[in-house]
Amino acid sequence: MNLFRTALILAKKDLYSELKTKQILTTQIIFAGLVIVVFSFAFDPANNTTKAVIPGVIWVIIVFAGILGLNRSFISEQRNETMQGLLVAPMEAASIYLGKFLANFAMMLVVELVSIPFLFLLFDFKFLGSVPYFILVVFLGSFGFIAIGTFLAALAANSKSSEMLLPLLLFPITTPILIGVVQATKIILTNVEKLSSAIAWIQLVTAYDVIFFVVCFLLIDYVLEV
Amino acid sequence: MSMNLEREKAMLPGTPLTSMKSASLSKILFAGTVISMLVSLYFIFIFAAEESTMHAAQKIFYFHVSSAWLAFMAFFVTFVFSILFLIKRKRIFDTYAYVSAEIGVVFTIIVLTTGPIWARSAWNTWWVWEPRLITTLILFFIYIAYIMIRQMDGVWDKKARLSAVFGIIGFADVPIVFFAIRWWQTKFHPIVFGDGPSQQGGGIESSMLVALLVTIAAFTILYAYLLQKGVSFEKMKFKVEQYKEKLREELEK
């Protein structure tokens, strides 16, 4: 299990450097807060119909905040000219991918942990659905989004304008996840009786997660070539 | 920079000069395209029965479906050549993948324009959020992104590698997108071939089917012609680059 050990070391390195600078995480959380504020202008929180858009808003926050972190994860390596160092280090490309994925995923979860309760609080949303299923959906959705996002961030990092390129690559590819999780979240938050169709969506998202995690794992060797 | 050019130059002796053969192939394909297009026009406007409710407006159906077919085929070809490129690492595979993706994008645009024109007369709306429409739109965005990777700065083999990877991922994504959206909601497109799930409203008249198949065949020949032409353009561009480089070297001497 050398692959996982090196991946963990890399993830630890990323998270340590994040703890030191707190650059990405603060930006992501503040950005998530700003998105919530903007949504409060767009959809009147006092209005009852606003409850219907909450599932969508959750995922817009996750996607936008996530893309900030994804952009940074490979560019920071290039700014410090440590990408070559990583590539010549005695570990596989898949290990670099896995390490970066774990670091991004951990940060994403922290952002969600802060911003989603904050959203419910500000929009005065009474949580009636099932909490374990909600957590499962958020977890699976972010997993897939970050998995494919880390991969495409590695791909886009080769370009000089990678900040602009990444969203264009990422959004069309992640449409199935976004449709699946928004539908599942909507069902779980607003009418729990239809749980079986939410589970069908969860299965779709899980299948997507598995397929793309494997595909990314196989193809990352070609992306991270010297 | 100089290193890249050297690398590109090293490819030169490897590329065989088959311009004579490809020129005659191009002529044959061009003639085939013209003839088959004329034949398909005959079949569409004279042979095929007129649709009972939509009348002449329905004729756009043949171009619409054939363009969609062509676009999907082009993206499939991109997918296949992307895999071949990653395995064999030959520049020609990359060129084929790129040209095919470009053709695919052009025909996706045609599908996305003829669709609303037809929809306006058939459904009385320009656009509906319906599985096949959204899938085509997302397909369009994916391959626009693919072309944007091609426009990146850097050595050709890096761009070729990255876009091949994206070509594979993008194509793998399409069935899942379609499946997800169909699950989400389905309303408008009838299932034309075979029995629909509702056992009604589907089906196509045999004269229309013949016209459709002829048009699809014509579009396939058109695709082959465009692909051949596009690849020979890319080869010419490549050759001009090499001559420029040679000239530059001589000037520097």
Q: How confident is the model at residue B199 (pLDDT cuts 50, 70, 90)?
A: very low
For residue B9, pLDDT beyond 50: no
B89: left (phi over 0), alpha (psi -120 to 50) or beta: left
The mean per-residue pLDDT over the stretch B35-54 comes to 77
Long-range interactions of A221-224: CB distance < 8 A, separation 24+: A221/A92, A221/A93, A221/A94, A222/B86, A222/B161, A222/B164, A222/B165, A223/A93, A223/A151, A223/A154, A223/A155, A223/B161, A223/B162, A223/B165, A224/A87, A224/A93, A224/A96, A224/A97, A224/A154
DSSP B188: S
Residues near A62 by Cβ (< 8 Å), separated by ≥ 6?
A: A108, A111, A112, A138, A141, A142, A145
Q: What pLDDT is recorded for position A124?
A: 80
Residue with tokens 């003829």: B114
Contact status of B84 with chain A (Cβ, < 8 Å): no
Please judge whether A171 and B141 are an interchain contact, meaning their C-beta atoms are less than 8 angstroms apart: yes
Share the mean pLDDT of chain A. Answer: 88
Please judge whether A179 and B149 are an interchain contact, meaning their C-beta atoms are less than 8 angstroms apart: no
Q: How confident is the model at residue B146 (pLDDT cuts 50, 70, 90)?
A: very high
Spatial separation of the C-alpha atoms in residues A186 and A55, rounded to whole Å = 5
The mean per-residue pLDDT over the stretch A14-32 comes to 90
Which residue in A172, A204, A222 is closest to B86 by CB distance? A222
List CB contacts (< 8 A) between B161 and chain A: 222-223, 225
Please judge whether A173 and B169 are an interchain contact, meaning their C-beta atoms are less than 8 angstroms apart: yes
Residue B220: alpha-carbon gap to chain centroid: 10
Contact status of B252 with chain A (Cβ, < 8 Å): no
Residue with tokens 């000239």: B247
For residue B232, pLDDT beyond 70: yes
Smallest Cα distance from B138 to chain A, Å = 6
Contact status of B25 with chain A (Cβ, < 8 Å): no
Q: What pLDDT is recorded for position B10?
A: 46
Contact status of A155 with chain B (Cβ, < 8 Å): yes
Q: What pLDDT is recorded for position B186?
A: 53
Q: What angle do CA B114, B119, B125 make, to 5 degrees?
A: 130
For residue A116, pLDDT beyond 60: yes
Contact status of B89 with chain A (Cβ, < 8 Å): no
3-class SS of residue B146: helix
Please judge whether B149 and A165 are an interchain contact, meaning their C-beta atoms are less than 8 angstroms apart: yes
Spatial separation of the C-alpha atoms in residues A169 and B145, rounded to whole Å = 6
Chain B residue closest to A167 (CA)?
A: B145
Please judge whether A169 and B166 are an interchain contact, meaning their C-beta atoms are less than 8 angstroms apart: yes
Give the lowest-confidence range in A106-115, B55-64, B86-95, B193-202: B193-202
Contact status of B87 with chain A (Cβ, < 8 Å): no
For residue B4, pLDDT beyond 80: no
For residue A177, pLDDT beyond 70: yes
For residue A108, pLDDT beyond 90: yes
List CB contacts (< 8 A) between B153 and chain A: 159-160
Q: How confident is the model at residue A103 (pLDDT cuts 50, 70, 90)?
A: very high
DSSP B49: P
Phi, psi of B51 (to 5 degrees): -70, 145
Chain B residue closest to A182 (CA)?
A: B184
Q: Amino acid identity, residue B184?
A: W
The mean per-residue pLDDT over the stretch B166-188 comes to 76
Nearest to B160 by CA among A169, A92, A163, A158: A158
Chain A residue closest to B178 (CA)?
A: A176
Contact status of A113 with chain B (Cβ, < 8 Å): no
The mean per-residue pLDDT over the stretch A200-205 comes to 88
For residue A158, pLDDT beyond 80: yes
Q: How confident is the model at residue B185 (pLDDT cuts 50, 70, 90)?
A: low
Domain B19-247 has CATH 3.30.460: no
Cα dihedral B138, B143, B145, B149, rounded to 10, equals: 160
Please judge whether B184 and A222 are an interchain contact, meaning their C-beta atoms are less than 8 angstroms apart: no
Count Cβ atoms within 10 A of the Cβ of residue B46 and give its class: 0-12 exposed, 13-18 middle, 19 or more buried: exposed
**Binding-face residues of B in 230-249 toward A, CB within 8 A:** none
* Residue extents of the structural domains in chain A: 2-223
Residue with tokens 């499962």: A136
Contact status of A183 with chain B (Cβ, < 8 Å): yes
pLDDT higher at B193 or A207: A207
Q: What pLDDT is recorded for position A77?
A: 85
List CB contacts (< 8 A) between A152 and chain B: 166
Please judge whether B173 and A168 are an interchain contact, meaning their C-beta atoms are less than 8 angstroms apart: no
Q: What pLDDT is recorded for position A111?
A: 93
Q: What pLDDT is recorded for position A186?
A: 87
Which residue in A165, A176, A201 is closest to B176 by CB distance? A176
* Residue extents of the structural domains in chain B: 19-247
Share the mean pLDDT of chain B. Answer: 80
The mean per-residue pLDDT over the stretch B15-25 comes to 66
Say what the ipTM of the complex is.
Answer: 0.86
CB atoms within 10 A of CB A138: 22
